[in-house]
Structure 1
């Protein structure tokens, strides 16, 4: 259920609605009282928001008490209650170059007051970095256990955004957050080893669910296919944010694959530049709900070139839709794609390898159908109710003070692709304030 609060100051972008009675009511007997601190949230849709929404649905069904703390939005009709959870909006400013992404303002004490007033049993930190750093400190000072969800490899974005000197600083921030959190949950084996290699040992796995009723082969739409590929071409598809870290420009090597049409679903700050770089591609814009499900199921092949995915939900949705995948062999795709069965993985940066794998599947209908069937079968059972129930078990574990089983010894550090030595601003383990 969504409720809206119209009373918003458009200049400072803070919410002015009174706290609803439901936000202070205790959960049912045996339930959990949770504060979810979201680095980003509605109306912005991304992997972080998607995961939170699915979790909120499950927590509402359970009858748990939930509040979301998130940056304010430019939307003058601010979402006030989402799936039974009150949304407390903090003042925010736009991220440079990404006007629809808001960065929350305010210090640790402000977050501390909100948490003290709400008195949760546990604080869920969704992809913490700026607001999440303040929240983990506030919760620590209040003695409230925290579960941090690591799902965005922010430090590795630095070189892509032209600020390689910020990479070490960003990794230091990530380490500070997860060393202070009671428990960190990661979505992939790569991310698990990455954090453990950096000395963060209270780490466990929490993968992502997929809606196999929405994303399914039967959603294939021949009419939509004809609209984007009127010549009957086979469709090579991509779904995701059009931003520099996604490396969508790498798809240019597929522009002249015979008998195919490249279709890009999504929007973002790089759209105009990508349209110039890929003049023959179809840019379908942002799609959601059933429109997205139909588009994905209508692809013949899904390609994801991004090298910095801790999981990659769009790959899982493509597989649920019966679409084989070609993706880079780094990060989350290593767990999702089984080479030579559900798709192909290529070495990061090897665009000739990407093209060869695409040619292999687009040129062999029988092989592509076999890969498609295997991809669809591989994600069955990965439901959001099951994954959300697993998350609640992690909540209860940190509330009870149960330890994470730590590895013996220290795991090797996993170096980011094209890592650039950094000499930027320092942040000590105990002295950071930003």
Structure 2
């Protein structure tokens, strides 16, 4: 256990058996996949056992744990995204065979709902992680009846023992829709992988050969992220826009912002160097429940411009480590970017405040908090979760 958060019990905790049921997993790379991978890594590091149930085709193991692949269909308009089908018989067989202590539901929808229905008669404790603003995602992609998703999501989360939410804004929103038993569980960040020391001056010279201020977006390229708003950033004097990531909107965005550098999807050391090379990180999506990319940028020592909505409200201290703008105002976005692009002293001050804001939010700390959430639904009278990290 992390020394800042001593174990609530003096008795050594026995290893847990955790079934991770996720709506998205490798080879798809997104926030849900990344969080599930981090949870699995932490379970392995702490000596627990896990089984991963995921839709579509892909790796049969991860972190030494088996991955049970379940039937899926491609999402209309986003065919590289596999939507898990409610395969109750297969989920029942997998859970019976594995006999978990707790079922972890990652951003549950159809597959997650099936797992909840299976877990209930088996008397298995359940912890759901609310990560994707599905109604907002659907609305941005033009899916009819997006608001009708709220009753389905409320039904799923009302049936679990605890729902973990990544931000205070998400907790307020879900409480307003009648979701019960909500607890805050924020995301961790790899403070070694994302660090200012990865800044590479040669990379900067290649990206900005005339010494421009590097403004970067890193994330999925899809309509719900509103990346096309960055066309306004590309027109600002003295700036060079870098777009890192992939998705169904990539071709349209390249036409919309021809002056930007599009790197495609990057991982590992390449991604670390790209974050650290930036002078300003900008995020445009207005439906984020958390926004891990903001946290990674801050850990890399980069000030952030982000919408004053959802998860960014917990991460960006306005006028401290970055600037917030009204998500409905393109003018405010332009003004915020212009201030940081044209004021080097302001950039340096906010860059100095960036990493301290998140360096205590390691995956080790938040992973141990998650283990306490598991134990508290397994035996509610025996354990209370650690207080979430706050800055």
TM range (shorter): over 0.9
Q: Aligned Cα RMSD in Å?
A: 1.6
Is the contact between residue 71 and residue 87 of structure 2 (CA under 8 Å) also seen in structure 1? no
Report the 3-state secondary structure (helix = DSSP H, G, I; strand = E; otherwise coil) of the residue aligned with 1:263.
strand
Quote the residue 2:59 is aligned against: 79
Is it true that 1:152 corresponds to 2:125 in the alignment?
no
| SS of structure 2 residue aligned to 1:152 | coil
The equivalent residue for 1:327 is 306
Query: Superposed, which structure 2 residues align to 1:336-415 within 5 Å?
Result: 336-401=315-380
Q: 2:102 aligns with which of 90, 115, 122?
A: 122
* CA displacement at 1:156 relative to structure 2: 1.3
Instruction: State the 1:187 CA deviation.
Output: 0.5
Please list every run of at least 4 consecutive aligned residues from structure 1 whose deviation after the TM superposition is greater than 4 angstroms. Answer: 402-405
Matched, 1:35 2:14: no
Which of 243, 250, 256 is the equivalent residue of 2:222? Answer: 243
Q: Say if 2:214 and 2:242, in contact at 8 Å, map to a contact too.
A: yes
Of the candidates 67, 77, 83, which is equivalent to residue 97 of structure 1?
77
Q: Which residue of 2 aligns with 1:57?
A: 41
* Residue 195 (structure 1) aligned with residue 174 (structure 2): yes
- Please, which moves more after superposition, 138-147 or 264-273? 138-147
CA contact (8 A) 1:236 1:262 kept: yes
TM-score (structure 2 length as normaliser): 0.92
Question: Which consecutive unaligned segments of at least 5 residues does structure 1 have?
Answer: 1-27, 406-434
The residue number in structure 1 matching 2:254 is 275
**Inter-partner Cα distance in structure 1 for 2:232 and 2:286:** 16
Partner of residue 296, structure 1: 275
Runs of at least 5 residues in structure 2 that lack an aligned partner in the other structure: 1-11, 385-391
Q: 2:92 aligns with which of 91, 107, 112?
A: 112
Q: For 2:66 and 2:24, locate their aligned partners in 1 and report how far apart those are by CA, in whole Å.
A: 15
What is aligned with 1:44?
Answer: 28
TM-score scaled by structure 1? 0.83
Q: Which residue of 1 aligns with 2:50?
A: 66
Cα displacement string for residues 84-131 of structure 1 (whole angstroms, at most 9, x for unaligned residues): 211011122221222221122343233222212211110000111121
Aligned mates of 2:73, 2:223 — CA distance in 1: 21
> Contact 2:72 / 2:82 at 8 angstroms: preserved in 1?
yes
Alpha-carbon shift at residue 43 of structure 1 (Å): 1.1
* 1:211-238 deviation line (CA, Å, top 9, x unaligned): 1111011111111112222222111100
CA distance in 2, matches of 1:54, 1:338: 26
- Counterparts of 1:321 and 1:402 in 2: how far apart (Å)? 40
Counterpart CA distance in 2 for 1:325 and 1:332 is 13
- Structure 1's 94 and 364: CA in aligned 2 closer, same or farther, altered over 3 A? same
CA contact (8 A) 1:229 1:261 kept: yes
